[in-house]
Amino acid sequence: MKIDKAVATHVRVPFVEPFRISSGCVAEKDAIVLELHSDGFTGYGESSAMAGRFYSADTPEKSWSELCELVLPAIVGREFECPQNWNLALDGLRAGNFTKAGVETAFWDLAAQSRNQPLHIALGGRKDQVQAGLAVGLYDDLTDMLRAIERYLVDGYRRVKVKIEPGRDIDIVNAVRSAFGDIPLFVDANGAYTPEYVDVFRVLDEFGLLMFEQPYPGSFLEELAELQQLVRTPICLDESLETLEQLQEAIRLGSFRIANFKIQRVGGFYRALEMDAICRKHGLKAWVGTMPELGIGQAQGIALASLDNFVYATDVEASDRWFQDDIVNPFIQVRNGTIDLPSKPGLGVSVDRTKIQKYEIASRSFSE
Ligand SMILES: [Mg+2]
């Protein structure tokens, strides 16, 4: 595959309502849509860091400059044969994982199209549909949070995840259990706690939650292992698992029992598949998390979630759950708590050029 042309377009789409977690709040979804052109095919990807430092040190501005100054000029005009090949090239450029993910996944879309194969089949997935889970952010008023859960649960989402932070945790879980009973439920702290809060997790351990997602910061692997010794609820790692080395260290220490893989955080499909293979070897189950991304990233999430070891419901939700609009046709839809995998070659959804233009902040094109 020779890359004839590459285009990056920074888009900004308003959220349905501001999304708040323990580290910040965002009202608009930034994403950089990547197009790679090769031999008449167009492969799409999405570099989807959140604005500010909402989730990680990666930001849309950092990805934009890495893509335009470093990554896209380096790949245009070059030949790439296989995933190892383009990952080697991208890893040598030392761009952030969110930046890399947009380009790396666009390569997979191209490769799947050229083999006339749906993306999820190219990745090794075997499911026809995946289970979708509902996630809700932090709300000032618990009644508003319960109303949001109620509004979306009618789509049949298979589990609910609530965000927590110190001082707003046990009351949140209590309120959800009181309102909705014994539904599959878990909490995501986005690393907001330290071991001094261990008693909060001892109390939450009594609520029959599916998992505690990232209770302590990403680097606290030893402390997370100590916490896992104290509670029955499985610990799930998200922010901790950026690299193969971090994953192996977390396994060695016993820091978790469930892995959340985000395509953006790990820098694309190839690394996600490598990390999943390591988890399978150790009997550790996984699921696919999201930022959330716009429709391109969400469609990629569904494709990854179709692999056998992704046994828990994904964070991928319906397009209109998060965004006032989306850039793909058709929108991602959740019916009876599941999302169907598309059967078309490649990503399987169309990217809407009119929408890209409508939400464009900046665009740059690179050709030979
Ligand atoms: Mg998380």
Does residue 187 share a domain with residue 264? Answer: yes
Q: Is residue 72 part of a domain?
A: yes
Peptide bond into 342 cis (omega under 30): no
Residue with tokens 């761009």: 95
Q: Is residue 347 part of a domain?
A: no
Does residue 126 share a domain with residue 82? Answer: no
Does residue 305 contact residue 340 with C-beta atoms inside 8 Å? Answer: no
Q: Is residue 345 part of a domain?
A: no
Q: Which residues contact 331 (CB under 8 A, 6 or more apart)?
A: 295, 318, 319, 320
Q: Is residue 240 part of a domain?
A: yes
In angstroms, what is the span from residue 289 Cα to ligand 1's centroid? Answer: 7
CA distances, 57 to each of 36, 61, 150 (Å): 26, 11, 33
What is the CATH classification number for the domain harbouring 328?
Answer: 3.20.20.120
- For residues 247-254, average pLDDT: 98
Domain count of the fold of the chain: 2
Does residue 229 share a domain with residue 131? Answer: yes
DSSP codes joined into one string, 273-325: HHHHHHHHHTT-EEEE--S---HHHHHHHHHHHTSTTB-SPBS---HHHHBSS
In angstroms, what is the span from residue 94 Cα to ligand 1's centroid? Answer: 24
Does residue 226 share a domain with residue 90? Answer: no
Nearest partner of 203 among 223, 165, 173, 162, judged by Cα: 173
Element (H, E) at 117: none
Annotated active-site residue 163? The verdict is yes
Does residue 77 share a domain with residue 143? Answer: no
Does residue 130 share a domain with residue 272? Answer: yes
- For residues 39-56, average pLDDT: 91
In angstroms, what is the span from residue 2 Cα to ligand 1's centroid? Answer: 36
Phi-psi category of residue 140: left, alpha or beta, with phi > 0 → left and psi -120 to 50 → alpha:
alpha
In angstroms, what is the span from residue 237 Cα to ligand 1's centroid? Answer: 8
Q: What is the pLDDT of residue 368?
A: 86
Does residue 61 share a domain with residue 38? Answer: yes
Does residue 136 share a domain with residue 212? Answer: yes
Query: Over the stretch 128-186, which tens digit does the pLDDT of each residue have?
Result: 999 999 999 999 999 999 999 999 999 999 999 999 999 999 999 999 999 999 999 99
Does residue 106 share a domain with residue 126? Answer: no
Does residue 277 share a domain with residue 217? Answer: yes
Q: What is the pLDDT of residue 284?
A: 98
Q: What is the pLDDT of residue 52?
A: 82
Phi-psi category of residue 97: left, alpha or beta, with phi > 0 → left and psi -120 to 50 → alpha:
alpha
Q: What is the pLDDT of residue 258?
A: 98
Strand order in the sheet with 212-213: 134-136, 160-163, 185-188, 212-213, 235-237, 258-261, 285-288
In angstroms, what is the span from residue 368 Cα to ligand 1's centroid? Answer: 40
Q: Is residue 346 part of a domain?
A: no
Does residue 264 share a domain with residue 144? Answer: yes
In angstroms, what is the span from residue 312 Cα to ligand 1's centroid? Answer: 14
Query: Over the stretch 315-362, which tens digit does the pLDDT of each residue have?
Result: 999 999 999 999 999 999 999 999 999 999 999 999 999 999 999 999
Q: Is residue 209 part of a domain?
A: yes
In angstroms, what is the span from residue 291 Cα to ligand 1's centroid? Answer: 8
Query: From the candidates 29, 100, 161, 163, which is the catalytic residue?
Result: 163
Domain that holds residue 34: 5-116+353-367
Q: Which residues have a beta carbon within 5 Å of ligand 1, which is an ion?
A: 188, 213, 238
Confidence band for 55, pLDDT divided at 50, 70 and 90 = confident
Does residue 289 share a domain with residue 224? Answer: yes
Confidence band for 203, pLDDT divided at 50, 70 and 90 = very high
Q: Return the SS3 of 79.
A: strand
Query: From the candidates 29, 100, 161, 262, which is the catalytic residue?
Result: 262
In angstroms, what is the span from residue 166 Cα to ligand 1's centroid? Answer: 16
In angstroms, what is the span from residue 162 Cα to ligand 1's centroid? Answer: 10
Query: Over the stretch 58-113, which tens digit does the pLDDT of each residue have?
Result: 999 999 999 999 999 999 999 999 999 999 999 999 899 999 999 999 999 999 99
